[in-house]
Amino acid sequence: MTQSAQQMFDLHRDILDQAVGAISSRNFWTPYPESMRKYPEDAVKAAPSRFESLLNQPFTLNSVGSTHHVGGEVSPYGFELGITYNQPSPDELIVAMQVAMRDWRDAGAQARVGVCLEVLSRLNAMSPEIAQAVMHTSGQGPLMAFQAGGPHAQDRGLEAVAYAWQAMAQIPATAQWVKPQGKHDPIVMDKRFHIVPRGISLVVACSTFPTWNTYPGLFASLATGNPVILKPHPGAILPVAMTARVVQQVLEEAGFDPCLVSLVPDTVDAPLTKTLALDPAVKLIDFTGSNTFGDWLIDNATQAQVFAEKAGVNTVIIDSVDNLKAVTANLAFSLSLYSGQMCTTPQAIYVPKNGIETADGHLSFDDVAAALAKAVQAFLSDNDRACTVLGALQSVDTQARIDACRGLGEIVLDSESRKHAQYSDARIHTPLILKVDAAQKATYGEERFGPISFVIATENTAHSIELARDVIREKGAITLGGYTTDEAVAEQFEELAMEVATPLSLNLDGGIFVNQSAAFSDFHATGGNPAANASLCNQAFVASRFVVVQSRRHGQPN
Amino acid sequence: MTQSAQQMFDLHRDILDQAVGAISSRNFWTPYPESMRKYPEDAVKAAPSRFESLLNQPFTLNSVGSTHHVGGEVSPYGFELGITYNQPSPDELIVAMQVAMRDWRDAGAQARVGVCLEVLSRLNAMSPEIAQAVMHTSGQGPLMAFQAGGPHAQDRGLEAVAYAWQAMAQIPATAQWVKPQGKHDPIVMDKRFHIVPRGISLVVACSTFPTWNTYPGLFASLATGNPVILKPHPGAILPVAMTARVVQQVLEEAGFDPCLVSLVPDTVDAPLTKTLALDPAVKLIDFTGSNTFGDWLIDNATQAQVFAEKAGVNTVIIDSVDNLKAVTANLAFSLSLYSGQMCTTPQAIYVPKNGIETADGHLSFDDVAAALAKAVQAFLSDNDRACTVLGALQSVDTQARIDACRGLGEIVLDSESRKHAQYSDARIHTPLILKVDAAQKATYGEERFGPISFVIATENTAHSIELARDVIREKGAITLGGYTTDEAVAEQFEELAMEVATPLSLNLDGGIFVNQSAAFSDFHATGGNPAANASLCNQAFVASRFVVVQSRRHGQPN
């Protein structure tokens, strides 16, 4: 191990140990504060101008065999970033990575984990700046871009490092195997065990969470010895490129080839993902995005282990509530946050057609739907707050989808566009809420990405559960919310959650939201339904990223 | 948990803890003695007659929707077993298993592990009887059938249970998550975590190691909550059926539906494996067998996680030796054992064409080849011992392959047939060893299953390493043996082992053989080359067999 990698490991050892403790206890823990006030005021203040200083020029990275530049990001807040990036030659890059992999492998788990922890620490310090890049590619509002793009993404990266460390630490470097032979001398074998990476790891990033959804795969692969190709979404390159730069700097300082983590940007017109994914040297693929492409990867890139987070039909079932106002306020936040562009945003809200019981008496189905609409309206009544919470629509397709969906049911709350005080061309739209009948499964049982949700009239809660089961089994889901004051129904929700392998949030009516998951405690997606074949993070997310190669020879008893 | 499952867990808890310790230390350990003398003399003596009492009649098992019987096993020692087995209706069975899965899931890790440990304990007591069934289906010699089919197979099963337990024990049943809110009250969430099985597990057994290669998948899946369909090879049903009966008995005693582990036998004429493998309910597939079928599963059963052990070109590289006689004696045993029908038997033996250095001076390439042939001849000179070590050829195809391969090179040692003292029709054949040139890669670089090996004349050891690297990268390997007196060359072998992800056995010249791996210490296959995509056993072998489904709700601080 190089001296500096060892120093990095020693420096961050406490954090690592605490992270390993946290993934076992699942208690609250994080080393990366989510409050901007915990970061140096200067860094926070300077972030916008630092971001602006990156615009309209090349962003340079270590790029093997780079032949031309690509770019073309447009902020959902209404301006072109004008940044170009080197596009390495994939063939040359893969050869260079395979050469570099050997030193990275031989450096051992401590060195690799040390580098990863140092990278995360530096990324944390850069959170204000990364937030700007996340905001102006994903369209997230500034606070969310800071939290989800900065500390929360770093949490997920650290979580992956902790799982990787735990898995690798279980393999002893050496062992002496002594087999008794009765009266004769025992047979003694001296053994060595090596952690050997799978090969090239391809991490395909998405446009909505370019860091949060990328860091787990990046750090899980890197810590276990695999070189990583970062293939950003053409619309959200900058946050990934900034990350790659930090990794390359730390790799170089620690004495490793910076090409071990390389950005391979592409364009919508000349996509590279399929070519990269089918390369025989690519053995690991992390992907966040559409079901179509995720399924294509699973079906076609069979030379690789594919970890895919796709889409599903996130579900809320309302059986009964104490305080409908608190419940609808909670749901209003979830439906509004980042204009429903989270992979965790609820879409299908099942409510009995005869209404529900509350602490204030019976309320009709229409009362519930109207209360939800009212809560969203109230929550978004202040335009500044609305713009901050909603953020901007990342894609024009999502904007078009709102229009296309208006006719799918009876409008409970129409989507309206909003004007941002600073960015007049920002694509800002409030949620569209539709009322539909349980029979319209083709309508609400298909993912409608964006601020589009359905309140579905069912026969009763048993029917709601049955419909949710059918839809999630077929289409998947990443989140499931349940509301009931009846513990027996709560157990039915718990059973449903297990049947469809979807995490359950029960009776959320305060400061915790169904679309948010906490690193080190909540498993994001389970990997057990069509929405995702992997969970962020668990043992399975890291265990197959390396193999153990051993040697043995005759030895003498110690 | 049922009381009896809890009792089973408590009864075997010590063994479990020791097994978990062993997979971490990788030291020698086993609870299942490999010496027949450690088993009750009566059981050992009665085994042949107990086996005979099973012949020529139906072998009954709990079989959901069974409509007809199949059978047709023929002992490689030359007689028909005449046993028939119920063939369940796959569709009805899968429905029944899905129903039964819920109780099995809800029973929890301790109950499931308790059942598995009790099954293994009973299988261990039955080792003499199972040995008979293994012998007369696989063709293994009696001692090997006892060890590999009994205690060593049970070791591998226990190892899988230990990994499963370790993985599940890491998930807390509950957690309280307390997030500080500065001066305000913290946010408190009460969480529950459930281990949820993937779904139906299909274990496709092979004809040569019907228990050893089956137990890891069976126990890894069962312990983690998945119902298991055991699909035996049509030629080796009985050992799997005996195993299934024990599992069903223990499941029933513990209060579970015995259909949770069900035998689905088929025939060569009406195979069921593809149908089962493509069933959407089948989420896990363990397979041991041909590359063609293993690759078909990986490419087509994309709804399932496939753990495939296929074939490769097992390799020995001879650079230099101290004592050629000891080395060739060691290799003679490996080439002879079970007539080379192990997935670990060496096939390609690389030797420099200008010969090698030994403690007794330089020896030519032909000297080395002749010494190897002589060692095999000497080892097999006693016909009784030869028959015991060689066992019988499981398949007539293997017998035909020996004839077909005779012309592939210059014969160093011809294969001869042997007469078994007790079984005159036994298919017993000694090893065929051929000399070939390094250029004949198509000849030695293709798996030739059975007692067929090649001594390959290379330019020098560097050339041997290069050829081995190329062949294993393309075709895979499960074992790699290296012989050298030069520590620098030993390090080159170690590097080769890592590059091709194949475990290295260095300078074996005593009582340990390249084709044997020790449970709890040696990882069998790495999963990192074309011969296998999984290792028996490691974390990756169990971690993706279950998902974690959580629930969370607001709570009060403890």
Q: How does DSSP classify residue B258?
A: G
Task: Classify domain B47-310+535-552 at the CATH class level.
Answer: alpha beta
Q: Work out the minimum CA distance from B284 to partner chain A, whole angstroms.
A: 12
Global ipTM: 0.97
Element containing residue B176 per DSSP (H, E): strand B174-181
Alpha carbon distance B525, B523 (integer Å): 6
Q: What is the pLDDT of residue A1?
A: 56
Domain extent listing, chain A: 3-310+535-553, 315-506
The dihedral over CA atoms of B127, B130, B136, B140, expressed in degrees to the nearest 10, equals -40
| Contact between chains at B26 and A193 (C-beta distance less than 8 A) | yes
Distance (Å) from the C-alpha of residue A523 to the closest C-alpha of chain B? 7
Quote the minimal CA–CA distance from A468 to chain B in Å: 16
User: Are B535 and A518 within 8 A, CB to CB?
Assistant: no
Prior bond of B537 cis (ω within 30°): yes
CB pairs < 8 Å spanning A and B: 189
Instruction: Kindly determine whether residue B512 and residue A189, on different chains, have CB atoms separated by under 8 Å.
Output: yes
Residue B534's pLDDT is what?
96
**B483: nearest CA partner in chain A:** A553
Q: Average pLDDT of chain B?
A: 97
Give the tens place of pLDDT for each residue, B129-154: 999 999 999 999 999 999 999 999 99
How does DSSP assign B395-454, residue by residue? -HHHHHHHHHHGGGSEEEE---EE--SS-TT--EEPPEEEEEETT-HHHHTS---SSEEE
Q: Which two tokens stand for residue B265?
A: 């036998």
Cα(B227)–Cα(B64) distance, integer angstroms? 13
Domains A3-310+535-553 and A315-506 share a fold: no
Decide: B130 and B238 in contact? Cβ < 8 Å: no
- Give residue A480's pLDDT: 98
**Predicted pLDDT at A558:** 73
Q: Are A429 and A417 in contact (CB under 8 A)?
A: yes
The whole-angstrom distance between residue B398's C-alpha and the CA centroid of its chain comes to 19
What letter would DSSP give residue B523?
P
User: B289 and B205 in contact (C-beta within 8 Å)?
Assistant: no
Cβ proximity of A155 and B6 under 8 Å? no
Q: Where are the alpha helices (DSSP H) in A290-347?
A: 291-300, 324-336
Question: What is the pLDDT averaged over residues B313-327?
Answer: 98
Q: Which positions in chain B touch A192 (Cβ < 8 Å)?
A: 494
3-state DSSP call for residue A322?
coil
What pLDDT does residue A65 have? 87
Structure tokens of A159?
């979580």
Q: Which chain A residues are closer than 8 Å to B187 by Cβ?
A: 510-512
Report, as an integer, the average pLDDT of B62-90.
Answer: 95
Query: Which structure tokens are listed for B264?
Result: 């689905």
Residue B555 is predicted with a pLDDT of 96
What separation in angstroms does the CA of A48 have from each of A51, A102, A253, A310, A384? 5, 40, 28, 32, 19
The DSSP call for residue A511 is S
Q: Which phi and psi (to 5°) does residue B481 adopt?
A: -110, 145
Q: How far is A229 from chain B (nearest CA, A)?
A: 20
> Which class in CATH covers the domain with range A3-310+535-553?
alpha beta
Q: Is CATH 3.40.50.300 what the domain over B315-506 is classified as, yes or no?
A: no
Among the listed residues B246, B267, B412, the one whose alpha carbon sits nearest the alpha carbon of residue B328: B412
- CA A337 to chain centroid: 16
B180: tokens are 């500080």
Share above pLDDT 90 across residues of chain B, in percent, rounded to a whole number = 98
Query: Which pLDDT does position B66 carry in this prediction?
Result: 86
Q: What is the pLDDT of residues B336-361, one digit of tens each?
A: 999 999 999 999 999 999 999 999 99
Q: Please say whether the beta carbons of B347 and B453 come within 8 A.
A: yes
Q: Is A272 helix (H, G, I), strand (E, B) or coil?
A: coil
**What is the tens place of the pLDDT at every residue in A295-350?**
999 999 999 999 999 999 999 999 999 999 999 999 999 999 999 999 999 999 99
Let me know if A4 is exposed, middle or buried by CB neighbors in 10 A (0-12, 13-18, 19+).
middle
Q: Which residues of B touch A535 (CB under 8 A)?
A: 547-548
Burial of A112 per CB tally in 10 Å (0-12, 13-18, 19+): buried
Query: Counting every residue, how long is chain B?
Result: 558
Residues of A in contact with B552 (CB under 8 A): 503-506, 512, 522
Strand pairing partners for B307? Answer: B286
Which residues in chain A have their CB less than 8 angstroms from residue B24's CB?
Answer: 170, 172
Q: What is the chain A residue with the closest CA to B185?
A: A511
- Residue B3 pLDDT more than 80? no
Task: Tell me the mean pLDDT in the region B522-537.
Answer: 96
The set of residues, in sequence order, having a beta carbon less than 8 Å from that of A483 and lying 6+ positions away, is A316, A317, A318, A319, A320, A321, A327, A506, A507
What is the tens place of the pLDDT at every residue in B278-305?
A: 999 999 999 999 999 999 999 999 999 9
Spell out a b/e string for B445-476, using b for 16 or more CB atoms within 10 Å of the CB, else e. Answer: bebbbbbbbbbbbbeebebbbbbbeebbeebb
Confidence of residue B1 (pLDDT cuts 50, 70, 90): low
Query: Average pLDDT for consecutive 10-residue bins of chain A (558 residues)?
Result: 86 98 97 96 96 97 90 98 97 97 97 98 98 98 98 98 97 97 94 98 98 98 98 98 98 98 97 97 96 94 96 97 98 98 97 97 98 98 97 97 97 97 97 98 97 98 98 98 98 98 97 96 96 96 98 91
Of A302, A504, A510, the CB nearest to B298: A302
Query: Does residue B2 carry a pLDDT above 70?
Result: no
> How far is the CA of A240 from the CAs of A204, A245, A345, in angstroms?
10, 9, 24
With 0-12 / 13-18 / 19 or more C-beta atoms within 10 angstroms meaning exposed / middle / buried, residue B416 is middle
Tokens of A326: 């608190």
8 Å CB contact between A448 and A428: no
Question: How close A284 comes to chain B (CA, Å)?
Answer: 12
Rounded to whole angstroms, how far apart are CA atoms B287 and A435? 49
Residue of A nearest to B283 (CA): A528
Q: What is the pLDDT of residues B94-104, one digit of tens each?
A: 999 999 999 99
Question: What is the tens place of the pLDDT at every residue in B215-272?
Answer: 999 999 999 999 999 999 999 999 999 999 999 999 999 999 999 999 999 999 999 9
d(CA B120, CA B116): 6
CA distances from B541 to A328, A524, B265, B535 (A): 44, 22, 25, 7
Give tens-digit pLDDT for B204-219: 999 999 999 999 999 9
